Structures are given as C-alpha cells and as structure tokens.
Structure 1
Amino acid sequence: MTYLKHPVLIATLVLIALTGYSVATGGSINHVTQIVIYVLYAMGVNLLIGYLGLVPFGASIFFGCASYAVAFTLGRTFTDEISALIFAGVFSLVGAAVLGAIILRRKGLYFSLITLACSQVAYEIAFKWTAVTGGENGIQNVPRPLFQSAEGFHWFTLAVVILLIGAMWRLVHTPFGRLMQAVRDNEQRAITLGYNTFNVKWVGFCIAGTIIGFAGALLAMLIQGAYADNMSWQRAGDPVLMAALGGVHHFLGPIWGAVTFLMLEEKLSVMTDNWWLFFAPIIIIFAVLSPEGMQGIVQRWLKHDRWTLTRNTVPARPARIEPFDAAPAEHSKEPVLEVRELSKAFGSIVTQDRITLDVHDRMLHSIIGPNGAGKTTLFNILTGLIDADRGQIRFKGRDITKLKAYERSRLGIARSFQIISVFRQLTPFENVRIAVQSSTKGTIPLWRDAHKDEAVCARTWSILDAVGLADRAAEECDALSHGEIRLLEIAVTLACNASVLLLDEPLAGLSESDRVIVTDLITRLSKLRAVVLIEHDIDRVLAISDRITVLHQGKLIADGLPAEVAHHPEVVKAYLGKEKAGKPKERQPIAARVREKAVAANDERPLLDMKNVFSGYGGGTVLEGLDLRVMPNEVVALLGRNGVGKTTTLRTIMGQLHPTSGEVLLDGENIGQMRSDCVNRLGVSIVPEGRRLFPNLTVNENLAIAMRPGGASMEEIHDLFPKLALLSRSKAQNLSGGERQMVAIARALVVPSRLILLDEPYEGLAPAVVDEVKGAVQRISTRASLVIVEHHADEVLAMADRAYVLVNGKVAFNGPAVELANDHDLQDRLLGIAAA
C-alpha cells in the first residue's frame, strides 16, 4: 500500500476532491481552476526555494510574461491551447536562461531583490505600453477553441498540472535533482567535489521558470486575457507566501499553502476590502508556531520532523558489500603537486610568505605548525577557494594557479575541511553518492532515478562500509554523533577518487577507536596516492608521516623526514618559544612578591573551579573531564599543543560554550549554563585571540562600549598604555597588531574584572611589542587573576604561578610554573614534537 502515500497521487486526489466539493456546494469551477493553477505556480517557485535555496521575490515575471505570450499568439499564430501552452513554456525557458545568466551571479537578498526589480520593470512596461499590451485594460477576449466550457478547461488544466507535478517529483530524484539539494545545503562543498554550481543553479532556474511560465499561460487561458497586475510588487510575493505557508521544505507544502491562501482570500475579501488585516495575523501565527508551515504542524503532530522534499529511502543494502577499493592513481616519480613562492596576505596579516614545497605520489605528507601558521589557508589556496597574491601551483606538471576550485577538483584534488562540511539535509548515503557521482564521466542525467545507477550505488555502499557508516546510511545527518559526521566528511572526500587528498584535521573530535580506524585508512590510502595531512595529534603525525612540513607565522621553517623535523631548532622554538637548550627566563620579582602576598592573604577557596567538565562543538567532545582551579590573584598558564582544548576551555568559562556535563564554579556559583554577558557581569573578561575589536570605531569608542562602574578609568588605561592616549581618536582598523592587542587588554580592564582570560596575547607581535604588552600583563596581574593561553611556553611560565598542560582535552600536568619551566624533558614531551 506504499503507492497510496505517493505525493503525486495525494496531490491528484486532493485537487479532484476540491473539484468535487466545489461542484457539490455550487461553487465556481473557475475558482477551483485558479487554485489548481496557483498550486503549480507555488510549486514552481518552491523548486527554487526548497531545492536550490533561492528565494525569488519576482518569479511573477515568468508568470506574467507567459500569460502575455499566450494572449498575443493564441488565435493568431496558434490555433489551439496545447500549441500555445508549449510555446509559452519555450518562451519562459528562453527568458529564464537569459535572466538567470545575469542575476544568478548574486546570492541571498540581492538575488531576491533583483528578481523583484525585474518583475517590476516588466510590470511598468506592460502597464504603460498601451499600444501593444492594452495598458491597464490588458489584452482581452483571448479565444479558447478546444476547451470552450469552464468544466472542460478545468479538467485540461488539472491534467496538465498533475503531469507537471509528476515531472517535478521525478526530477528531484534524478542525479541532477539530488545535486540541486546538495548545492542548497553546502555550495562550497559541492564546488570542492568538482561541480560547477553556477551551472546547476542556472539549469534549475530555467526549469523553474518554465514551470511557472506554464502556470501563467494556463491563467491567461482561464481568464481569456492577460493583465499587468500579476507582475506588480503587490502580487509578486504571493507564490512565495503560499510556499512558506504550506512549508517550503515539503514537496506537498505549496499545495496546502496555495489552497489555503486562495480560499481565505475569497472568503475574507467578500467580508471586507481590508481582508489583509485578518489574513496577516494568520500568517504570523503560522510563522511563529511552525516555521515549517502547515505540513510541519502535521508532521510534528505525527512526531516526524524530517523534511519531505524527497522520499526518505535509500537503495536496498547489498547482501554483500564489496570492500572499498581505493584504485591507485598512475604512479609518477615526479612531484604530483608543486608549490612555488606562494604568498598571501590579508591586509597586514601575512598567512603565506613565499612557500615552496613538493608533494610526491604515494606518500603521506603532513603539514604542522602552531595556531595561525597558515595551514588551512594553504589548503584553501591549493584547492582554489582563495586566490594567491603571488606564486605558482602545478598539478602533474600543469599550471593550475588560475583554475577555479571545481576545475581543480575535476583534475584530481580532493579535500576535507577543518570545520565539518557535509550536506546536512541529505542522508549519509546521499552525501557519499553525490561525491561518487562527481567522479563519473559524462553529463548528469535529468531523467534517470539516481538510485537506479547500480555502479554508483555499489561504490557508495563500499565507502560507507569502509568508514563504519553502512548501518547509518539512511539516517538524518543530525542524528549522527560528531564522530560519525567526521567519518562521513572523510567518506565524502574519499569518494572523489582523487590523485591528491588534502585532509584538514580528520581526527578532530573522534574517539580513540575511531582515530585508529581513520589513521589506518589514511595510511592505506597514502600507499596508493598522495595524501597531505593537517593534524594536531603530533604523536600520530610523527608515527605515520613520510614527510613533514612545518609552517610558522606564514613561513616554511622546516621540511623533511619526521626525525629531522622534530629536532629542527626553528621547530623547537616555534612550539616551545625557546631553543631546546635554553634556560628559562627569570621571573619578574616585583609582580611575584605582590602576588605572593595577595595569595597568602586569601583563604583556600578558589575563584574559579572547573570540575569534571566535558565540552565541545556540534556534538563533538573536546574537553574530557577537565579539572582546573584558579585562586584569587593567581596567574595560571594554560598550555598544550594545537587542538587540545585550550581555547575551548576559555570559551567554556566565558559562557560561549556550555558544558555537556560537569561544573564551572565562579566563587562558588555555577556559571556553566549562563550567557556570556551574564558571566562578564560577574567579573570574568576575555581578551580573545585575534583581538576582535570593532574596526570602524575609534580606540575610545571601543573602550566606552565595554566600560562599566568599578572598572579601570581612562587615566589608568593611559597610564598602563601611554600610546593609547595618542591613538584615542584613531579607528581600530588602522592600528597595528600590537596597538590592537593593547586595546583588547584595556577593554577587559574597563569592566570590574576579577578573572581575565588571555588567548594568545603575544601572537603575531614583534619582539619589542611583546615586551611592552608583557609588561602590561604583569602589572594587571596584581589586580585580577589571569588565565593565559600562549604557545610560547617560556613567555608565560616566567610570570605564572601555576601551569596546566592539556593533551587531547585532559590535564596532563598541573603544578608550579617554575617546575615546568625547569623541566625541559617534560616540556618536550607535552608541548614539543621531538619527544613524540
């Protein structure tokens, strides 16, 4: 009985039932025909909204122009309605092709407004070109030779609309229709899989414009005329409203919206000319109670919240899934990827400074470096998401520096993302199938069911099984754990069958068992093709890599075998902030004595106490049972390699992340679930990595926004940072990195802070500026407790009372800062890469 739930059959039965109801109650058959036409209109518009993520406020241009096309030709050029209808469709297709080629170069609100503007231009022409269009009187007395009776034309219209609804249902299940949904969910990811997303949107726009044109043509035949009103801004938004009212994320949603809209309009307009005063509150109620529209209300009642734009099935799982075969690329002894003198800067921030490196076939080449080294930016440049300022990139001997991202992917460069990038509203099976589809040759069919391609589906099952997701193939992505979504991201990357795989932190957020699975998979892949890996798990990187490149502050400081790189002096300095054989710097005696006295005067109650805290992002766990204490007037250094949870700890304290379990106590009060503004008012401030100033405001304005009674005065700020007095009227965007850091620290002081969190306070600063900022940090340590995250260990250990070192979200060291400062072997083991 599954066929009884088929959306096309449901649509047919609903529209036939509506016809029967109208006949039984003596209603107007023409009004029911109008409803049927507007159902098609709304569904055509929703093909753009629901399946491509494009909101056309002016889709009425196709609706109105097609009606004029019929009015001009029916009875003159064409002698029957069918021929005129076909002409209107072709006319709309050509118009959509031309218009789409222009306006699809803009996204979001601009796309919506441009469509509205185009529709309004068409309205003005139709309304004022009286000699041709009849002006406000329109074109009247259009003949209808084949279907002269209202009943006959109604059944003709119903047949055409049902046929087109069936065609749309078929379309959205083809490889192209599924690709439309992938572009809607994550256009950037679709690009990196090798799809020209502009062409996808353009074809989808043309199809939708054609369907809307058919609706406009039918309306012209119904009213036997064409009028400009349908293209005016007052009516242009009607189909969008109908789709939203019914539910844009459901195939049948526009049907319910169109029927409700037109029936209410008819009933209310009879009662009053100001019917919108009654109709608007209904729209508001639906929008508030159910953003998913009428269909969403029903599905929530049935406890089923899934989008129903397509059927929710996947192809039958094979009795035996073939093992994943990562077919080796053609082996070459020459570098498969060559980077020469690559440079990139964002304003004054240099992320790549003349990077030169080679990636060889069938090798695992890892790229490591401290935060902000430029690793992910390098991947973005290599894959074409960002253009380099200077330099050259060659792939298999071919210069690809100017190629677009999808063109590079088609050549054989695939990547994963540091921040998980999948198609969230598609199943895991469909995510991988879309990626497998990208590696197949030829055009993407507009007629074949995507799940009928046995070769593509079989490979999809193999890849899902290889990462352990075969049993979850039909689930919603939101139902997957963070680790499973990370595995899905890797599966999507593998499905491209590329010659070079760029993997950006593939182990992030995975459990140890999943790390072992993925590490083994990466190692096996590197025996068959080139794999470039960015990963902060240094132990694993050194264990599995064939070659390692180290970046620091945009520069390549080491490149070679793991053993050589691990002991490279520049690498040791980048990770530890000093030469391995160096001595720890002397502690500052004045600040230390003041702090020592203040600590002695306080009782043992901690100012901040984190107990067994678990926290992370998007379902992933970064902090695993973290315990951390900060006493009043104490300076705590929070250290660790990249990706171990230092910044996550600060964000959890600050309320930017809420722990999934555990307690964050501030002076005995649990602040774990509080908003950031509430935490700040209790006396916790943060100096974030990257400073995060308001660039268009002056120094004084940045400080004035944060200033509250009890905080430092402007006089105290200028005493601490004399330079800010001179720069008080300068905009933040014009300041140097050091000056911005001074403002960021001052901003934390102008509120009454008991605890100040500093995230990488010396990052990107010149040595002289570091000394100036460091002196200020030492002075403020006498008035508040500090938690300092800094990858240069010696810079912070010299001024800290205690130190915590994190490894994979857990505390690996907790003790006096001087103990860690004097133990070079311990530093190497926990912070550096040599011991690993």
Structure 2
Amino acid sequence: MKTRQLFRHPALWAALVLSGLTVLWLMLGAPVGLITQIAIYTLYGMGVNLLVGYTGLVPFGASVFFGCASYALAFFVLGRVATDVVALVLAVLFSLALALVLGALILRRKGLYFSLLTLACSQIAFEVAFKWTAVTGGENGLQGVQRPSFVSDLGFHLFTVASVVVGIALLWRIAHSPFGRALQAVRDNEQRARSLGYNVYLLRLGSFLLMAGFVGYAGALLTLLLQGVYANNLSWQHAGDALLMTVLGGVHHFLGPLWGAITFIIMENRLSAITENWWLIFAPILILFALLSPEGIQGLVQRVLRRERWTLTRNTIPPRPAVIAPYTSAAQAMDPDRPILETKKLSKRFGSLVTAHDIDFEVRPFVLHSIIGPNGAGKTTFYNMLTGVLPPSGGKVFFEGRDITRLPMHARARLGISRSFQILSVFPNLSVFENVRIAVQAQKIGARGLLNDAHGIDAINARSWSLLDAVGLADKAAAPCADLPHGAKRLLEIAVTLAIESKLLLLDEPLAGLAEADRIIVADLIRRLAKNHAVLLIEHDIDRVLAISDRISVLHQGRIIADGKPTEVANNPEVISAYLGAAKSADQVAPAIERQAGAATEALLEARGIAVGYGGSTVLSGVSLEVRKGEAVALLGRNGVGKTTALRALTGSLPLDAGTVSFAGTQLAKLRPFEINRLGISLVPEGRRLFPNLTVVENLQLAARPGGMNLEEIFQLFPRLRTRQAAKAENLSGGERQMVAIARALMVPSKLILLDEPFEGLAPAVVNEVMDALVKLRGQVAMVIVEHHAETVLPIVDRAYVLVNGQVAFAGDAATLEKDHALQARLLGVVHGENQNPPAHAAVV
C-alpha cells in the first residue's frame, strides 16, 4: 500500500483518534473504560452501517445480535466451555448462526417491515432474557464473568482498541471488494442490480450475516468489559442506540459511527451526571442535527470545508490504460438464421384487464426490431414478461431454444438478456466508471471475493474502459453519475446494458427526454449495436424508429396487429387506425357546435417558452400556448411527446426549467398546486384517481367549494350519476368513473379544466355521453383536452395544438386541422420515408 493511501486509510484515523482519547483520559486520571465503551460502540455502529449505508436496509433491532452474543459469551465462560478469548470466537459464530436463521425469514421483507421485524426479534430476546430468571438471571443479569487473559482494565482496553481497529480495516476492505461494491449497487437501484444478474436476496443475506458477526463481536466485548451481562441492551429503549450513533455521525460516511459514538457516549456520561433527565438536553441537539445537517457530524464538517461528498468508499478509479481495447460483442457467434428469442401465446391479465393476448413473436440476431403502439398498448408489460419482472398468465418465452418462462430476472440476465428502462436506471451515487464496472463484474465474477480489491481485477477494468470508450464516456469515467447531463446518462445506461455480455438488448424508450443532438447520437449508437447484437427497441419517436429499424411490430390493445418492414407497417390500415382512429362511418355526425373566434375573448392562460422535464431530461422545450375564456382547446400528439407533462407543468406539480405561465394575470411559477387550483385551474387526471372506498356523492363533496356546481347541476349534466350516487367508486364502470372525475373538477369554482385522455378505455356509447357533457360545458368554462385520437376531439374544440418531440408543431383552428387529413397523418400518424416530416403549412410552427 502506498504511503499516501496508508495516510488516508480510515482504520489509521480511527486508531489515532481512539489512541488520542486514551492518552487524554489517562492524563486526566479518568477510568479508561469509557473509551473502551466508545471503541466497542464504534464497531457496533459500523456493523449496523454495513446495512444502512452500504445495503440500504435499516435495522431497528440489530441489538438482537449485540445482546444475544453478550449472553452467549457469558454462558461459554461461566459454563467453563471456553476461555475468554475462545468464547469471543464462539460468540461470533453463535451470532452468525442466529443471523442465518433470522435473515432467511425477515429478509423476505424490506423497508419498514424489515426494520420492524428486526425490532420485534430484539424485543422477543429481551423478554426471554428478562423473565427466564433461572437461566439468564432475569433483572439482575449474569455477573462474575472472568477474563483471565486481561487482568487489568488497561490491558483489556488496548486489546479492544486493537481488535476494533482491525475490524474497521476489515470492513473497509469489504466495502471495496466485489461483494461490497455489489451491495452499493443494490442500495442505489435494486431493480437495475437484478437486471444485471445479481441475486439481491443472497447479497442482502450476506451483508446481514456480516453485520451480525461484527455486532456480535462488539456485544461479546461489552460482556468482558462489564464482566457481566444484562438484558437492557436488548430492550426497545436501547435497540436503536447504534443506529442513532451512526445517523448522528453521518450514515453516508465510513467513520460516521466513530464520531457518533464519541459524541453520544461522552454526552450521556456528562449529562447524566447533571440530571436524570439528560435526554431533555440531548434530544434537542439531535433534532437540530437532523434539521440542519442530515449527513451528520462529518457532513457538517464537510459543508464548512465545502467538500461535500459521501466517504463510504475512496473516490478513485483504476488508471486509464494508454490504449483502450476496442469493444467486442459476445453475440457475434450467434446464428443469424435462428431466432434468439421467441414467444408463443404469451398473455398477461391483471384481473379482468388483459394487457397481452396470445402474442406470438420472434427476434433474430443482428436485426434492429422495434415495437411501437399507442398508449396502453401493453409494450412495457411485454418487456417485463420477457425479462422476468412480471410472470405471464399464459404462454411461454424461449431464449436460444431454452424455455425461460419461469426464470427470475437475474438468471435471464446471466444468459445474455439485458435491458434498459423507460425511466433512466443507473446507479446515481457511483462514479461513471463504477456503474459500468459493477455491470461487467456481474457477469464475470458476480459478488465473489470478499477481501479482494474490486479495482484490482485487470480483466474487469479493461472491459469497463472498452465499454465506456464505445459510448464516448471514457473521458468522464471519474465523474459522479449524478453530475452527468441527461444525454450522457442515456449513453451510460446503454453501456451498463451492454456490459453483461449481452446477446439480446431490450431498449425501452432510450430517446425519451433527449435533446435533438443527443437523439442523433443515441440513435446512431443503437443502429451500430444492431450489427453485433439482437436489438429489441420500444420508442415513441416514430419518425426515427421508421428511419433506423429493420423490422417493426405494432402492439395494440395487447395484440400484435402488424409485423414487417417499416414501409409495410406504415401503410397498414390497422396501424393507421390505431394511431389516427377509425374512419368515421357515413351515419356518424359530429356534435353540433358553434366554434368560438379565437381573438374574440380575453386570454385566460398564457404559457410562454416553457421547458420542463424529469431528473435532468428535457420533455418540453420552448412550448408556448394560450387558452381564452370559455374556449375549448385540444392538445394532441403521439404518445410520449409531453402532453401529460404539459398539464403537470400548468398545474404546478412539475417545476418549470424555463419560461413563464400566467393565469388571469397571475404568475404561477412560484405557486404550489393547491394554490393554483384555488385560482381556478382543475385537473381531471388520466386514470381518474377517485377515492375507491367513498361513494359517488362523497367523492364529489370532498371537492365542493362555494362557487362550484352543486349536486343537482352535476346530475343534470351526468344523469347516470344520479342513479349511482350511493355506489362506491371502486364498483363503478370506467365510464362512470370518468364522469365522476369530471364532475369533481366542476364542484370547484373552476375557470379552466384540464382533461387528460377523458375518452381513454371507454365504450363508444359512453364516449358519446361524456362528449355531450363537454359540449354542454362549452362557453361556461375553458377546457384543454388531451387526446390521442384527433378525430374524436377536433369536432368539439375551437383550436388545437399538436406536440411533436416536445415542441409545438401546429397551432391553429381546429377546423383547419380536422379537414387536413394529410397533415394529421404527418403529425399524429405513422408515415415512412421521405414523407415523415411535416410539410410547409401555414398553421405549422
């Protein structure tokens, strides 16, 4: 180890701090046992932080191992089974065995349930220890535990400090091993870790066992320190002491438990000498830390020094090689004439809802095969069945001729099926290099190697550099992933997806939220990857899909309705109908309305140059629109272009990155959603979002405010609701739920109602009922109607906006767009080849 690395090693700093405290206490003539206790609780806290900081699990009752190992050592020594030193080893083994039994059970749950289960185990152990007087001594505990190997308190103190420092060094090594790095991947993104081939349950069980071993050793040391053991360490009052110390010192800092233990124990010692109610003084200090410095004592120091970062691991990466080997695909040996993936009669049902029905499908090597389809077609559900996220309700999935229908996600990943996700899925708290290295490691060695340095495995490092270079991120390898722009994160996600020796790449909307320049880069990379892999792509940018794909399948209402070359698919009548809606029959008559002249009324809502996105992505860019009093406006566009995002921006639930929004002369940028609602903007969300256990009337009354419609007016608008007013929302049909959702918005004194896909999933007769109600509302309240099918909504609105890739491509009279079927096809449908871009048109912006 280099001198500089040794100087920065946290075990050295822990040794220096504990030694310094020892010298200070000896100089003061104070008992050294207090510093021994600090050393013990430091190791206790670091064992707990192996779960909290590294694995993402919060054990409220890790004390079950601390207390039980304390009793175990006492039993071994008092029963003359072993000497004190041997008893230490046996106590650790006992703690490991206990953890294996408890972990196998409680790790089936996570989050709050895991935390409470650990606390329950600790409390059960306390009840046994406190009441089984014949064995445990009950309230008096077990006393007279001799430690012949350490006659003096100073001798035992030195042994304790030395062994704790060794334990700290061991924990630091584990944190940097392949196993420790895999734990951090699970902490950051469990689903992504599974998709790379990690068995998350076994990783958590391993960390649980390690935690129990270190905590059990600390508990056994405490018995030797006190030369006795008592039940109070198992009680709920003390179960969270180590967790409290860890949080106080800094849960995202390796030495945080050391600073927390020093502060907690010294303050307890000093304050308890002043008053029995010392917690009344200490608790406000904890509250201040929680509010002012969530990263604890070490985080506070870093903030003062302006060097804020997690210190759970060193912030270095392996050296970059002088020459980076070019990326080579493990999939090049595939037989191009044999399908790599097949599904037969694949189906998925959620109760009565069918999202996939008898899908027969195949993917061939070296082909860029895209799946497109309208909203709700079942595309992501299909991907989730292919990758093992969801079990199918029927049918089978074959990979390279092998039935993988029942294989879990991590097992499929090890076969060579890798995927990206619709929402960016990387490891945000790891470096760019570490994101890729973790993925390469998953396929090469998994989490094996508890004491090896993960950055010392040359083959894995070289492969990681090759992947980063292939996606153009080698120069940003040392950067924290969280600091990357959105486009670079997409490239990183593709590199992570490639890293597991992928044969089949399933890419779920890789272009989502990218600026045009980034779209070109990522699309070109996908096209190149298809030359050496099988690529299955879901993407909403239909124009680009048609331009780069070799084959396209169209999914609609859970069925494959078209499959073939881009030209064939673009001209398929069923595909045209799915995207633009079925052509109207001769006997269909649009509702009779009198369209409002746009300039005749005063502007109510004005949005100017708004830009908005999610997590660094850009969904809308430079969008401007306006709605006038009493006007009905359609907001159209293919799925994924940003229609719902626009509504969220207008209602304040998504903050603007740029631009302004004003309503009735009031700027909305700094207002919260409920304040915007009280100004008169109401949202009818996609999916209705009613309160299922409340009746129709109760749902409406919750929203009622003076100035809104009353129940009688609602029942006149929606007669069906009068007969269903006592029914619970969960028992309503889809159409009835939509009526209640619209009615709820009208119970508020609304000036503008935003309706997100109000006709989605409704039968034609119900669509007519809802449409008639909207026609009656024309002029009374302004409306913005988001709808996928233009032919449904254009006849009942005054003006229309069409979004294409997050920008306004059309703004004008609804009648103009309604009559121009060619323009509708270009903006909203599926058009191939040279006609894929909108033509010059007076209304196109």
Structure 1 length normalisation: TM-score? 0.97
Distance across 2 between alignment mates of 1:156 and 1:489: 48
Offset at residue 340 of structure 1 (A): 1.8
- 1:319-376 Cα deviation digits (max 9, x unpaired): 2222222233432322211112222233343221222211122211111111111111
1:528 maps to which residue? 532
Contact 2:347 2:358 in 1 (8 A): yes
In structure 1, what is the equivalent of residue 829 of structure 2? 832
1:239 aligns with 2:233: no
- Residues of 2 paired with 1:237 and 1:396: CA distance? 51
Work out which of the residue numbers 759, 765, 770 in structure 2 matches 1:768.
765
Determine if contact 1:553/1:764 at 8 Å carries over to the other structure.
no
The CA distance in 2 between the partners of 1:477 and 1:689, in whole Å, is: 33
1:781 and 1:584, CA in 2 relative to 1: closer, same or farther beyond 3 A?
farther
Is the 8 Å Cα contact of residues 60 and 115 (structure 2) preserved in structure 1?
yes
Q: Deviations over 1:116-135 (max 9, x none)?
A: 11111111111222222222
Q: Does 1:494 align with 2:494?
A: no
- Amino acid aligned to 2:515: S
Q: Match of 1:81?
A: 84
- 2:549 paired residue number: 545
Q: Which residue number corresponds to residue 50 of structure 1?
A: 53
Residue of structure 1 in register with 2:262 after alignment: 259
> Partner residue of 1:628?
625
Counterpart among 151, 158, 163 of residue 160 in structure 1: 163
Question: Alignment partner of 1:310: what SS?
Answer: coil
Instruction: Choose which of 705, 708, 729 in structure 2 pairs with 1:708.
Output: 705
Does residue 643 of structure 2 align to residue 640 of structure 1? no
Q: Which residue of 2 aligns with 1:273?
A: 276
Alignment of 1:728-743 (within 5 A): 728-743=725-740
Contact conserved, 2:330 with 2:502, CA < 8 A, in 1? Answer: no
Aligned-partner Cα distance in 2 for 1:226–1:257: 24
For residues 329 and 105 of structure 1, the distance between their equivalents in structure 2, rounded to whole angstroms, comes to: 39
CA contact (8 A) 1:584 1:821 kept: no
Contact 1:611/1:628 (CA < 8 Å) preserved in 2? yes
Contact 2:505 2:535 in 1 (8 A): yes
In the aligned structure 2, how far is the partner of 1:92 from the partner of 1:619? 45
Instruction: For residues 599-625 of structure 1, give each alpha carbon's deviation from its aligned partner in whole angstroms, at most 9, with x where no partner exists.
Output: 67x54x311111111111112111111
Say which of 644, 653, 656 aligns to 2:653: 656
How far apart, CA to CA, are the structure 2 residues paired with 1:308 and 1:645? 39
Tell me which of 107, 124, 140 is aligned to 1:104.
107
Q: Deviations over 1:531-559 (max 9, x none)?
A: 11000111111111121111122222212
CA contact 1:584–1:794 (8 Å) conserved in 2: no
- Quick one: distance in 2 between partners of 1:801 and 1:48? 59
How far does residue 259 in structure 1 lie from its aligned partner after superposition? 0.8
Q: 1:423 aligns with which of 388, 402, 427?
A: 427
For residue 163 of structure 1, what is the amino acid of its counterpart? V
| Pairing partner for 1:359 from 358, 363, 366 | 363
Q: SS of 2:444's equivalent?
A: coil
- Determine which of 19, 24, 29 is the counterpart of 1:16: 19
**Residues 211-245 of structure 1: per-residue CA shift (max 9 Å, x gap):** 00100111111111122111111111111111111
- For residues 406 and 701 of structure 2, the distance between their equivalents in structure 1, rounded to whole angstroms, comes to 46
Matched, 1:592 2:594: yes
**Cα distance, 1:209–1:576 mapped onto 2, change above 3 Å:** same
CA positional deviation for 1:75: 6.2
Aligned residue number for residue 515 of structure 1: 519
Match of 2:201 among 198, 201, 209: 198
Residue 26 of structure 1 corresponds to 29
Which residue of 810, 814, 818 corresponds with 2:815? 818
Corresponding residue of 1:449: 453
2:691 alignment partner in structure 1: 694
- Structure 1 residues 554, 218: CA separation in 2 closer, same or farther (over 3 Å shift)? same
Q: Distance in 2 between matches of 1:344 and 1:738?
A: 23
Give the residue type in structure 2 aligned to 1:515. Answer: R
Q: Secondary structure at the match of 1:342?
A: strand
Tell me how far 1:81 sits from its aligned partner.
Answer: 2.9
User: Cα deviations across residues 22-65 of structure 1 (Å, max 9, x unaligned)?
Assistant: 11111111111111111111111111111111111111111111
Give the 3 Å change call, closer, same or farther, for CA 634–392 of structure 1 in structure 2.
same
Q: Take 1:162 and 1:484, find their aligned partners in 2: how far apart are those partners? A: 41
The alignment's C-alpha RMSD in Å is 1.7
Distance 2:331 2:504 in 1: 11
Cα distance in 2 for residues equivalent to 1:587 and 1:816:
17
Partner of 2:842: none
Which stretch of structure 1 is more off in the superposition, 132-141 or 105-114? 132-141
Q: Name the CA distance, whole Å, in 2 between partners of 1:444 and 1:188.
A: 20
User: How many aligned positions are there?
Assistant: 829
SS at match of 2:610: strand
Residue 186 (structure 1) aligned to one of 189, 197, 210? 189
2:344 is aligned with 1:345: no
**Deviation, structure 1 residue 588:** 2.7
SS at match of 1:536: coil
The answer for unaligned runs of 5 or more in structure 2 is: 837-845
With over 3 angstroms needed to count, the CA separation of the structure-2 counterparts of 1:79 and 1:645, relative to structure 1, is: closer
Q: Does 1:287 align with 2:279?
A: no
User: Which letter does structure 2 place at the counterpart of 1:251?
Assistant: F
Match of 1:786, SS state, is strand
Partners of 2:262 and 2:334 in 1: how far apart? 62
CA distance in 2, matches of 1:553, 1:669: 42
Equivalent residue, structure 2, for 1:665: 662
Structure 1 position 125 matched with structure 2 position 122? no
- Deviation string, structure 1 residues 84-108 (Cα, Å, up to 9, x no partner): 2111111111111111111100111
Matched, 1:411 2:415: yes
C-alpha distance in 1 between matches for 2:351 and 2:673: 30
Name the CA distance, whole Å, in 2 between partners of 1:702 and 1:495.
Answer: 50
Q: Give the CA deviation at 1:667.
A: 2.2
Distance 1:432 1:531 in 2: 20
Question: For residue 653 of structure 2, what is the amino acid of its counterpart?
Answer: Q
Partner amino acid for 1:500?
A: L
Residue 507 of structure 1 aligns to a residue whose secondary structure is coil
Q: Secondary structure at the match of 1:796?
A: helix
Bigger mean CA deviation after superposition, 235-244 or 131-140: 131-140
Aligned residues of 1:654 and 1:676 also touching (Cα < 8 A) = yes
- Please say if 1:64 is aligned against 2:67: yes
Note the residue ranges of structure 1 that are not aligned, 5 or more in a row: none
Aligned to 1:371, which of 372, 375, 393? 375
Residue 306 (structure 1) aligned to one of 269, 288, 309:
309
Identity, in percent, stands at 59
Q: Deviations over 1:752-805 (max 9, x none)?
A: 111111111111111111111111111122311111111111001111211111
In 1, the alpha carbon distance for the partners of 2:804 and 2:346 equals 33
Cα distance change, pair 247–357 in 1 and its aligned pair in 2 (3 A): same
Q: Which letter maps to 2:611?
A: F
Q: SS in structure 1 opposite 2:370?
A: strand
In the alignment, residue 183 of structure 1 is paired with which amino acid?
V
Cα distance 1:34–1:441, how it changes in 2: closer, same or farther (>3 A)?
Answer: closer
Partner of 2:843: none
Select 1:751's aligned residue among 748, 752, 755: 748
Q: 1:77 to 1:360 in 2, by over 3 A?
A: farther
Contact 2:55 2:186 in 1 (8 A): yes
The DSSP-based 3-state class of the residue aligned with 1:763 is coil
Kindly indicate whether the alpha-carbon contact (under 8 Å) linking 2:182 and 2:447 is maintained by their aligned counterparts in 1: no
- Cα deviations by residue, 1:186-211 (Å, 9 ceiling, x for unpaired): 11111111111000000000001000
Q: Which residue of 1 aligns with 2:385?
A: 381
Answer yes or no: is the 8 Å Cα contact 2:632–2:782 preserved in 1. yes
